[in-house]
Amino acid sequence: MKILMPHLEFSFGSLNGDYSEQTLENFEHMLSQLKEDDLGYVHFDNVSEFYFDGITNEDKRVLKEKIIDNSQK
């Protein structure tokens, strides 16, 4: 599957956002590891590639739903 980077970033906006400094650092690290192709898409096999330490199971559920929805745009 693939998703445009702006759509992926928008997906993360749906999360709680009340995180510790360490969780935010984990998020930044995960985001920095992503690679965009020439058209601005991030390719992935599983939504769990975008999970990072410190988010709740509910956040994972919401994130999965949003990423799948946004990857179809």
List the chain pLDDT tens, one digit each, 73 residues.
Answer: 999 999 999 999 988 778 999 999 999 999 999 999 999 999 999 999 999 999 999 999 999 999 999 998 7
Domain membership of residue 8 as a residue range: 2-71
* pLDDT at residue 17, rounded to an integer: 78
Token code pair at residue 3? 């998703």
pTM of the full predicted structure? 0.85
Type and span of the H or E element at 22: helix 21-32
Specify the pLDDT at position 18: 87
d(CA 45, CA 43): 7
Put residue 13 in one of left, alpha, beta given phi > 0 → left and psi -120 to 50 → alpha.
alpha
Domain count, the chain: 1
What is the predicted pLDDT for the residue at 73? 74
